[in-house]
A and B are shown apart, each in its own frame.
Chain A
């Protein structure tokens, strides 16, 4: 058989290497699929479901779906973009996302996805959960109000930093981020500013103190170009997926 190493994404051939998922192959080949909990440097997780695609009438998260020759995948269609819009709206309604006062605004992936998908409102009833801040650490602030439970900090702290500073607790809608300390406070953990876990938060939960709002409006990451264009800049981080299982 020929074409054993390509699948089709919205009608375009996408080459892949054995072991790559659809998302990994698509990004490496310069095709954008919206995503939030996926990060090129970590094992795909599949929880946000923003990257849901359609294959033969069925839907699946493309970040965890193994690439297979001959698959015919639909991604950039209104049905799926409507789904993605609703998922973004759900995340906005679930937490307390008050963009005007957030120092991550302009550099936030959730916000940038909302922009790219033309999400004008959360639409749903806001849940307004009570999620107190953790300002115990001299250099780091945790604002749980914005947490979208993507587990990137959990994964980074455990897999890269070897520290397990973060974990998830609770279940269902009460699921929340906790830190590894009997006091429950970040200052009593061994987190360091140089940790990978400090870099990966797609929203504004894990923040370095005293540097907020340094970038003027207009010069922040997603002020310049939409996330759909920039995700492709990130793709070379996964050179042909060579580093992936």
Chain B
């Protein structure tokens, strides 16, 4: 192999379920050729806690709290290309189904009205991130360069998208790989 510089890739999950990361692992043995082309920065795969300068950032999940905003900004600042992956990152997804409800009503219902573990108070520990009044897709908070739709996108779709991108082509999924569900 030539000594071409590997592309640095970071990944994270915000208001998501890690399903897109699981799907990423579904590229299976293709991880090996992929690792000839890329190396991982911050990612659940590496346990690096903060993102350094990267070529590509992959983010699953939407923006539902203050901490999500900080992480998203960190990625935007460090990644030349930022990719939203999966329904939640692209549309807000399942967490955004609360968007037609008032946040205060949600918190009251969960922590005050319903019997539960919270002992009748809304958690206010400064360690906890505060929820935003609405859940937003990533592109409403920072500029996003590419989107890989799907809930989750299949391993094949992620593979096709990334290999197109790394090869310098406009990524295209095509029938069978593009899906929103």
Contact = CB atoms under 8 A, between A and B. Distances in A.
User: Do A and B share a direct contact in the complex (Cβ within 8 angstroms)?
Assistant: yes
A101 B96 CA distance: 12
Contacts, number: 75
Contact of B149 (A116, A121, A223): A121
Contact of B91 (A115, A126, A130): A126
Contacts of A100: 87, 93-94, 151, 180-181
A114 B180 contact: yes
Contacts of A42: none
Interface in B84-114: 84, 87, 90-94, 96-97, 99-100
A162 interface: no
Given A98-B87, A100-B87, A128-B134, A118 B93 contact: no
Contacts of A71: none
Between A92, A118, A225, the greatest number of chain B beta carbons within 10 A of the residue's beta carbon is seen for A118
B39 interface: no
Q: Chain A contact residues (Cβ within 8 angstroms of B): what range?
A: 20 to 34
Given A98-B97, A115-B178, A123 B87 contact: no
A111 B91 contact: no
B145 to A, nearest CB: 11
A226 interface: yes
B8 interface: no
Contacts of A115: 175, 178-180
B57 to A, nearest CB: 16
A81 B175 CA distance: 16
B178 A98 contact: no
B100 A121 contact: no
B94 A121 contact: no
B139 interface: yes
A96 to B, nearest CB: 8
B91 A98 contact: yes
Contacts of B92: 126, 128
Given A97-B91, A121-B90, A111 B180 contact: yes
A217 B179 CA distance: 11
B181 A121 contact: no
B101 to A, nearest CB: 9
B22 to A, nearest CB: 15
Contacts of B134: 128
A125 B175 contact: no
B181 A102 contact: yes
Interface of B: 84, 87, 90-94, 96-97, 99-100, 134, 137, 139-140, 144, 146-149, 151, 172-176, 178-181
